[in-house]
Structure 1
Amino acid sequence: MNQILTKKLESLPELLSIGEVAETFGIHRDTLRNWEKAGKLTPLRVGPRQDRKYRKEDIQTLIDEMGSKLTLQQLEQFLWRSADILRGKIDSSDYKKYIFGLLFYKRISDVWDEEYKKIMDEYKDKNLAEADYNHRFQVSRDCKWSVISETSVNIGQKLNDIFDKITNVNSPKLDKIFDDLDFANKDRFPNETIQRLVNHFSQYNFGSNYISSDLLGDSYEYLIKQFAADAGKKGGEFYTPREVERIIIGIVKPHQRDHIYDPTVGSGGFLLEAYNYLKDKSSEQVARTLYFYGQEINIGTFAIAKINMFLHGLDSADIRRGDTLANPQFLNNTGNLQTFDIVVANPPYSIKDWEFVLFKGDKYGRTEGYDQPPNKNADYAFVLHIIKSMNINGRAGVVLPHGVLFRSGSEGRIREQIIKNDLLEAVIGLPPKLFYGTGIPAAILIFNRNKPEQKKGKILIIDAEKDFLEGKNQNTLRKQDIEKIIKAYDQYQDIEKYARVVDAKEIEESEYNLNVRRYIDSSEKQEEIDVKQVWKDLQTLEKEREEINKKVTGFIKELGYSE
């Protein structure tokens, strides 16, 4: 970084404007103003307007002090600017996978160099330094980032070839990671566009000595969120708001060595939230005892999830590609569904085109004891898969559209059967517009295969629909909103206009309708009106009005205006 910034500085004048300095560092002008307040970089004041001017030598001193490490904000801004290079050239819902792919490639190449240097410095043995067992990922010399950065023609095809080689030599670890990328399409990626992307990523060293796993992982999560917002409706296909994930993980409470499964894993947010939860509650060492599993049907999103796990240092996470309903990937030795301590999911809402026929003849026993879900809506197919994937002490949290709470027909019968089996522990109504691309109200359903005695035959209903921070296009849950929901669940008792523990008998009398408002009246209490008192007040006012009229009439007569 030092050399690159110094090189930029060479072509600039002796006195730099605030815009020139901001562009040199790749930061916002407000950041420079904050540096000035902190005494980190003090400008001269020049001219009648007292414009800020920065001396070259002061900038160079700061560059030397900063070294090669980036802050989280700088890294986020740097990575997001890579999207600007592709914006307008390809669809916004597509270019994320190319940026994620390049970022991951740069990371593993730079880390390989670090690992090589460390062994060479210690043992001075080239063969030992190149040995596979001394590297997290294998990157041969003809696949190094330096090779692609020095390529000037047919860069796209060269990238494709490198990705194929890296995949093969790291199989099965990196299988399908780069499958959805084609940089050789010159209509989408002219040579100069790819050159700009490569030059952009070449500005910094992405090795772990410069950018920690936590820092890179957090910035990657930031990118996922930004891309989800940019993609609008399609963003909801791979991104669940982290606040919603935080609620579910805070309720199911992962323990040491828990096996955690997400059948519609998306970008892997639920699994990361579980890791961060236990890391905060206990330690990183304890959090790393968790076992993570996920399945994703979309190949691009599958790659995002895999890369997300790798960048956070969770290489053991088992993420597989495939249709969870038609071809579940996690089976035990007898060919039945593998079961887990915790299952979490935000499946696609109410999909009409799903493998109904395959599910109808399900060999995994997911519909055993239950009605068949409707052929034009897969919501309850996912619910039945989740229930079947819970072990004898399993607990689960799933986000679903409100319709699952009250729709009739086969869905109503499945809901009845679940309640009779005493698997449902809580229903949480969420605020509107939390999810990208849809205003459909959603709810969280909490399942527990081994409910505590005091919760048996009961379901906690929470109405959290009114607690949120309103946004122009997207609403968000605040920290206090999240904590309020989790606390209400933990207490598992009635809270006026917010939570209610409902007996299964009452739900039966309501024909197994779980509509939140059927059980909780959260409407504002109307002020009671004392009709007698109001009538008395009106009579008093009428008398006062008559007295005023008499006085006014007297004044008019005195002035000689009366008839």
Structure 2
Amino acid sequence: MKAIAERNPELRDVFENIDFLQFTSSRENTEMLGQLVEIFSAKPLHHVSPDILGDAYEWILHYFAPQKAKEGEVYTPREVIKLLVEILDPEPEESVYDPACGSGGMLIISYRHVENLHGKEGAEKLFLFGQEANPKTLALSKMNLYIHDIRNAQLAHGDTLLYPKFKEGDGQKRFDIVIANPPWNQDGYSENELKKGEFWNKRFRYGFTPKQSADWAWIQHMIASADEDGRVGVVIDNGCLFRGGKEKAIRKGILRDDLVECVILLPEKLFYNTGAPGAVLIFKKNKPDERKGKVLFINASNEYEQHPEVRKLNRLGDEHIEKIASAYREFKEMDGFTRVVDLEEIKENDYNLNVTLYVFPEEEVEEIDVGKEWEELKRIEGEIMEVEERIEGYLREVGV
């Protein structure tokens, strides 16, 4: 394994974070590993498309996602990532940064998005960056990108909120697109803790988060990591839209600077580790003139289908992704689905970004044919009268 790692330096982290010696100390594991080697040796894979191999690897990650969720790790459903990427729309020559990259899904789907629109040559011109705090998860991410034949990515290990690894000059590096599903309600990042990190005065300029939830610390880091024309998309806990205290103060500052472009309420039961609905927030530092001073709210709580493999889960179908992404692009009102809201109204609502405060799905009203229903009622009443007459006849026969 050491020799393989030396010959493949881009995979060094993969081998360093998997203890094959400890794994094979068990006779059962040794036998299992031997069988796997025999199976893969019998099936040459050098002619198999990287997309097929990558999909197989993604399937394995997806298969173990429920168990990993119980252990506290977060697997972002690929449909949610597709929605986010459709909205942010990365292009060749742009940079994409995921500060909580996990298994690399955000970067891979960004790459595929560009490849589908601009071909392999265009995708090779997309610059991918990611940081992950868990070394074993980082190893999975590197393997995932490698199997997908994606070589234009730079991944780093470290605590992003304290020690961002991508730097430029004497500050943090800035990117065209910043995209992430960071840990929701992560605790342990109080003001004192965040001030131990690098560039804290530039990254957390809107304020510090409460110790029990770092949601807005992640969001501020992402906004600070975007360049002057950058786009930011984050999947986050719905509660951060309306909680008070320090989080409200941060929301207030970000809204006053007119950085929030769109807030999307997702359906419930999309994620393995929680049944609660998440939210997608889109930020832009340089909004188009027609969107300045406004925020688009999209209530997508009903845009789902039942998950085909996991009965207790829902998922976004292709038609739902397209409907939501189109609503974002069109930036117009649709009854019960979207609403464009002036910042002044949000201010009047105490800087509350709860989507249901601004747009609520319309309930389908069943049309009633009064004449038809009246005829049905008379028919039922006639049947009741016939039954009553029969009962009275039976009672007379028995002398009651």
Shorter chain as denominator, the TM-score bin is 0.7 to 0.9
Asked whether the equivalents of residues 233 and 438 of structure 1 are also in contact (C-alpha less than 8 Å), the reply is no
Partners of 2:44 and 2:288 in 1: how far apart?
48
Partners of 1:355 and 1:560 in 2: how far apart?
86
Q: What per-residue deviation string (whole Å, max 9, x for no partner) do you get for residues 443-482 of structure 1?
A: 0001111111111111110011112112422211111111
Structure 1 residue 215 and structure 2 residue 52: aligned? yes
Closer, same or farther: CA 254–464 of 1 in aligned 2, 3 Å: same
Structure 1 residue 338 and structure 2 residue 173: aligned? yes
**In structure 2, what is the equivalent of residue 467 of structure 1?**
303
Greater strand proportion:
2
Q: What per-residue deviation string (whole Å, max 9, x for no partner) do you get for residues 216-243 of structure 1?
A: 1121111111121343433x72521100
- For residue 79 of structure 2, give the secondary structure of its aligned residue in structure 1: helix
Return the match for 1:396 from 207, 232, 237.
232
Return the match for 2:164 from 308, 313, 328.
328
- For residue 323 of structure 2, give the secondary structure of its aligned residue in structure 1: helix
Partners of 1:310 and 1:560 in 2: how far apart?
89
- For residue 257 of structure 1, give the secondary structure of its aligned residue in structure 2: coil
Deviation at 1:167, TM superposition (A): 3.0
The equivalences for 1:35-114 within 5 A come to none
Q: What per-residue deviation string (whole Å, max 9, x for no partner) do you get for residues 305-331 of structure 1?
A: 011111112223101101000111011
Q: What per-residue deviation string (whole Å, max 9, x for no partner) do you get for residues 7-32 of structure 1?
A: xxxxxxxxxxxxxxxxxxxxxxxxxx
Return the match for 1:516 from 336, 340, 355.
355
Residue 326 of structure 2 aligns to which amino acid in structure 1?
K
The equivalences for 1:15-34 within 5 A come to none
Asked whether the equivalents of residues 187 and 211 of structure 2 are also in contact (C-alpha less than 8 Å), the reply is yes
Partners of 2:213 and 2:326 in 1: how far apart?
33
Closer, same or farther: CA 246–408 of 1 in aligned 2, 3 Å: same
**In structure 2, what is the equivalent of residue 370 of structure 1?**
206
Return the match for 2:319 from 474, 480, 483.
480
Q: What per-residue deviation string (whole Å, max 9, x for no partner) do you get for residues 357-415 of structure 1?
A: 24135541345541211122111110110000000110011000011110000100101
Partners of 1:355 and 1:177 in 2: how far apart?
32
Bigger relative contact order, structure 1 or 2 (CA pairs below 8 A, ≥6 apart): 2
Deviation at 1:166, TM superposition (A): 3.3
Partners of 2:147 and 2:76 in 1: how far apart?
19
Structure 1 residue 166 and structure 2 residue 4: aligned? yes
The equivalences for 1:120-519 within 5 A come to 162-163=1-2, 165-171=3-9, 173-185=10-22, 189-205=25-41, 209-234=46-71, 237-334=73-170, 336-354=171-189, 356-360=191-195, 363-364=198-199, 365-367=201-203, 369-471=205-307, 472-519=311-358
- For residue 21 of structure 2, give the secondary structure of its aligned residue in structure 1: coil
Deviation at 1:347, TM superposition (A): 0.3
- For residue 167 of structure 2, give the secondary structure of its aligned residue in structure 1: coil
**In structure 2, what is the equivalent of residue 147 of structure 1?**
none
Asked whether the equivalents of residues 366 and 384 of structure 1 are also in contact (C-alpha less than 8 Å), the reply is no
Partners of 1:435 and 1:181 in 2: how far apart?
27
Asked whether the equivalents of residues 360 and 372 of structure 1 are also in contact (C-alpha less than 8 Å), the reply is no
- For residue 236 of structure 2, give the secondary structure of its aligned residue in structure 1: strand
Deviation at 1:356, TM superposition (A): 4.6
Task: Structure 2: state its 5+ residue gaps.
Answer: none
Relative to the length of structure 2, the TM-score reads 0.87
Which segment drifts farther, 374-383 or 308-317?
A: 308-317
Partners of 2:238 and 2:35 in 1: how far apart?
48
Partners of 1:317 and 1:301 in 2: how far apart?
16
- For residue 151 of structure 2, give the secondary structure of its aligned residue in structure 1: coil
Determine what percentage of the aligned residue pairs are the same residue: 37
Asked whether the equivalents of residues 326 and 355 of structure 1 are also in contact (C-alpha less than 8 Å), the reply is no
Residue 321 of structure 2 aligns to which amino acid in structure 1?
I
Closer, same or farther: CA 528–503 of 1 in aligned 2, 3 Å: farther
Asked whether the equivalents of residues 325 and 355 of structure 1 are also in contact (C-alpha less than 8 Å), the reply is no
Partners of 1:302 and 1:209 in 2: how far apart?
25
Relative to the length of structure 1, the TM-score reads 0.63
Partners of 2:152 and 2:305 in 1: how far apart?
37
Residue 223 of structure 1 aligns to which amino acid in structure 2?
I
Partners of 1:436 and 1:379 in 2: how far apart?
19
